[in-house]
Structure 1
Amino acid sequence: MERHYGMDWLRIGAFGLLILYHIGMVFVPWPFHVKTAHPLAWVEIPMFATNPWRLTLLFVVSGYASRTLLAKAGSAGSFLLSRSSRLLPPLLVGMAVIVPPQTWVELTTQHGYRHGYLPFWLGDYFRFGTIDGIIMPTWNHLWFVVYLWIYSVVLACTCAALGRHSLQGWFDRAFAGWRTVVLPAIYFLLLGAVLFPQIEDTHDLFHDGVAHLRYLPAFLFGFGVARSPLVLASFARHWRVASTASVLCFATIATLLVLWPDFTFPETPVVVWTYRFARHLETWTAIAALIGIAERFWNRDGRWRATLAEATFPFYLIHQTIIVLVGGWLLPFVLGPGTEFAILLLATVAGCWALYDAGRHVGWLRPLIGLKHRPR
């Protein structure tokens, strides 16, 4: 398969936005592993520029990349072996080494835990139980890796049973033209606004059914798009309409949050349904707009593309731990939010780059941070 540089840039941008979003989680009133001393309700407004669609987009681009990996692997079994070797070692290392500092900072800053990090890691983290309701050991933000591996297993089994191209013709006919934008948008509206409006993601693999109904179809959709020039052309044709709808949805949510900060909405049908409709319509219209833009304008190589594309997974593995550690360290200084944000951003980018730069030059470390083995 020919490489689609636009989807590479979209993947890079999606993970970059994820890092900014998790820094923002320090400042909003929503629960997080570390919180600033003075949460700001207005930060919820820019957060909702990406909140409805950021994770679904990651699964779409992951499904797209999986089609390329399957083509290179040659068979469903080889694909699954390749995916497992790239995802499972970083997941296990992440749960054992990268994630524990997040749990320790959360316990010490929000739950009165008094022990230092080393006693916590050696004595409490691997208890396979809870402290004040916090489950240990855990995967925290690495839930995405778990779900991605499970979806890869589902994909490999489906391809082994039916063939990788058996449903491609149906996919092309079902989602070409205006249906590229409209049909998935209807699905996400029905799922989030009508059928399960009160259910949020739990990141618990076995008790997260609504999330799976959102993310697995997105992953499979990305897999189908990767071999569908017809659907990609439809995205490129309708990106303006999708962009307009997405901006209007965000403007609606922003207006509601200005009128009723921190979701203190009145329980009236008009307000409740307006919020639900705007949030869940934004999910697909934003994704459709971004894929259309990537197809039409970004499908060209650049000097930093290959490096940044390789760095996204190591950045993802370590970024939240850096945010939580630095955020916890900054708490006693009671800095202004602007200064705190700048420090968090600079420290996160520097720490992520340091891990990636060290890992790519150390052979045994490469597979532990999600990089390919370097051939001898």
Structure 2
Amino acid sequence: MTRRHDIDTLRVLAFALLILYHAAMAYVDGWGFHLKSAYTAEWLQWPMIALNRWRMPLLFVISGIALGLSLPRHGRHRFALKRSGRLLLPLLFGIVAIVSLQAYCEAVDKGDVTPGLGAFLWRYWQFRPWPGAHFDGAAYGFTWNHLWYLAYLVPYTLLAIALAGPMQALWARLPSWRPDDRLIAIVGLLLPVLWLAWALLVVMPAWPPTHALLNDLYVHAESLPLFLAGFWAARWQRGWDLLVRSRRLTLALALIGLLVELGIRALGRMPDLGQLDPWVLSLPWAQTERVGRALYTWCALLAMFGWARVLVDRPWRGLDYCREAVFSWYILHQTVLIVLLYWLRPLQLGPWLEPALLVAGTVAGCLLIHELLIRRVRWLRPLFGLRVHPPSPSVAGAATAP
């Protein structure tokens, strides 16, 4: 199978957006984050909402596609162990050596500890709860912060591989049936939107997101089906062709869903809301906003995959380098960002210079650490999710990175 350059490119872009998104988290007013700048702005909520609805769903679908493309016909038990190791090792190393620096900055900022990195790390590495502390993970004694995505990929990957054999056997026994493209399109649009709307309306109010893996029903209800959908559709050529043909429709539906959600949110902020007609106030605004959000999330994903298939399904200069670097950048970026903000904030550089330096410094820090250290030190490579030996750029195959 030839390499899917469109999936590689989408993955690189999705992880690159994480830097901008997490940098903006420090400046968006009204949203919590590990460390906040003094220069916050409420208007940032609008582009952040538009990005937030599909950024993590996109990564979970891409991860499922990558697994589906790389799953071998034989030796799946060994493949599952190897794959899990490539996820667990960076996760454990990140908790101990990378994310611990974020925890220190947050703990000092919230007054949980006095400045002194060595003393904090000695206490943190004992993995004991911090009674009375308020920084992320204090109740457990450690935190994985933005690395929660890796923790979720491990059970999702094992489940998908375990289901692959039975699903293939079941599919082979079913009678031959070739549904019409229109039926596939209708079902492929309606069922996921209904599922996502149900998760938003029913599951999320009772089980809000925690990113704690074992007590996070809403995130599982959203992310696991998306991961499995990507896994099972990875080699479905007819489905990819249908995505390409319907890319304009899915883009239009995504924009409609976004306008519905943002429009209702904007209406809710109007100071004269009480002056609206009673019949307007009686409409189920909250439910409609959630349905619009579900429509936007799913159709945005379909549109991105359809347009990427047309526009970027070809190699471009630097893709091989980015494909390898993106995992280590993901592990590094939020810690580099938090540490930089911890240093920049006392300088009071202003609402334009500080975020510009923060983004530029985060990119430069990730680039230098990856290029000068991680990429060149053989024993460090597996700790950041890379193979011990760098892959040859001439080797073609499926997208294998998580």
Per the normalisation by structure 2, the TM-score is 0.85
Note if 1:224 corresponds to 2:232: yes
User: Secondary structure of the equivalent of 1:362?
Assistant: coil
Cα pair 2:207 2:217 within 8 Å, conserved? no
Residue 193 of structure 2 corresponds to residue 189 of structure 1: no
Amino acid at match of 2:379: W
1:259 deviates by 5.0
Give the corresponding residue for 1:369: 384
Distance change in 2, residues 1:60/1:113 (3 Å):
same
Does residue 185 of structure 2 align to residue 177 of structure 1?
Answer: yes
Is the alpha carbon distance of 1:326 and 1:190 closer, same or farther for their aligned partners in structure 2, counting shifts above 3 Å?
same
Summarize the alignment of residues 8-47 of structure 1 with structure 2, pairs less than 5 Å apart.
8-28=8-28, 29-47=30-48
Equivalent AA in structure 1 for residue 166 of structure 2: L
- State the one-letter code of the partner of 1:239: R
**Structure 2 match to 1:77:** 77
**Alignment-mate amino acid for residue 108 of structure 1:** V
Distance 1:103 1:215, change over 3 A: same
Separation in structure 2 between the aligned mates of residue 212 and residue 69 of structure 1, nearest angstrom: 23
* Aligned counterparts of 1:9 and 1:166: Cα–Cα separation in 2: 33
Shift of 1:141: 0.8
The Cα of 1:32 is off from its aligned counterpart by: 0.7
Q: Does 1:128 align with 2:128?
A: yes
State the Cα RMSD in Å.
2.7
Task: Write the distance in 2 (CA, Å) between the matches of 1:128 and 1:155.
Answer: 34
Query: How many Å apart are 1:133 and its aligned residue?
Result: 3.8
Q: Which residue of 1 aligns with 2:399?
A: none
Q: 2: distance between equivalents of 1:172 and 1:35?
A: 54
Query: How far does residue 179 in structure 1 lie from its aligned partner after superposition?
Result: 2.9
Please name the residue that 1:243 is paired with: 251
- 1:25-104 matches, within 5 Å, as 25-28=25-28, 29-71=30-72, 74-104=74-104
- 1:230-309, aligned counterparts within 5 Å? 230-259=238-267, 269-309=283-323
Could you list the per-position Cα deviations for residues 2-33 of structure 1 after superposition, in whole angstroms to 9, with x for gaps in the alignment?
22111111111111112211111101121111
Deviation of 1:271 after TM superposition, in Å, equals: 3.3
Cα distance in 2 between the residues matched to 1:169 and 1:65? 26
Q: Secondary structure at the match of 1:12?
A: helix
The residue type equivalent to 1:32 in the other structure is F
C-alpha separation in 2, matches of 1:113 and 1:343: 27
Q: 2: distance between equivalents of 1:315 and 1:90?
A: 12
Q: Is the 8 Å Cα contact of residues 196 and 210 (structure 1) preserved in structure 2?
A: yes
Q: Which amino acid aligns with 2:45?
A: E
Q: 1:153 to 1:124 in 2, by over 3 A?
A: same
- Does the Cα contact within 8 Å between 1:178 and 1:238 map onto a contact in 2? no
Do the aligned partners of residues 261 and 344 (structure 1) sit closer, same or farther apart at CA in structure 2, a change above 3 Å counting? farther
Q: Which residue of 1 aligns with 2:331?
A: 317
* Residues 1:244 and 1:199: Cα distance change in structure 2 (over 3 Å): farther
Q: 1:27-67, CA deviations, whole angstroms, 9 ceiling, x for partnerless residues?
A: 11211110011321110011012111111110100000001
Name the residue aligned to 1:156. 161
Letter in 2 for 1:305: L
Q: How many residues align?
A: 372
Q: SS state of the match for residue 138, structure 1? A: coil
SS at match of 1:111: coil
Distance change in 2, residues 1:114/1:164 (3 Å): farther
The Cα shift of 1:311 comes to 1.2
Distance 2:376 2:173 in 1: 44
Aligned residue number for residue 374 of structure 2? 359
Aligned CA distance change for structure 1 residues 138 and 65 (closer, same or farther; 3 Å): same
1:345 is matched with 359
Distance 1:259 1:285, change over 3 A: same
Q: What amino acid is aligned across from residue 295 of structure 1 in structure 2? A: R
Q: 1:320/1:261 Cα in 2 relative to 1: closer, same or farther (>3 Å)?
A: farther
Shift of 1:103: 0.9
The within-5 A match list for 1:136-147 is 136-147=141-152
Amino acid at match of 1:63: G
1:220 is aligned with what amino acid? Answer: L
Q: Distance in 2 between matches of 1:187 and 1:213?
A: 9
For structure 1, the residue ranges without an aligned partner over 5 or more in a row are: none
Identity %: 33
Letter in 1 for 2:378: G
1:155-196 per-position Cα deviation (integer Å, ceiling 9, x unaligned): 22223x516575489899698334333321222122213554
- Residue type of the partner of 2:144? W
**2-structure distance, mates of 1:273, 1:47:** 21
| Aligned residue identity for 2:228 | L
What SS is found at the alignment partner of 1:50? helix
Which stretch shows the higher mean deviation, 268-277 or 170-179? 170-179
Bigger mean CA deviation after superposition, 300-309 or 327-336: 327-336
Name 2:396's counterpart in structure 1.
Answer: none
TM-score normalised over the length of structure 1: 0.90
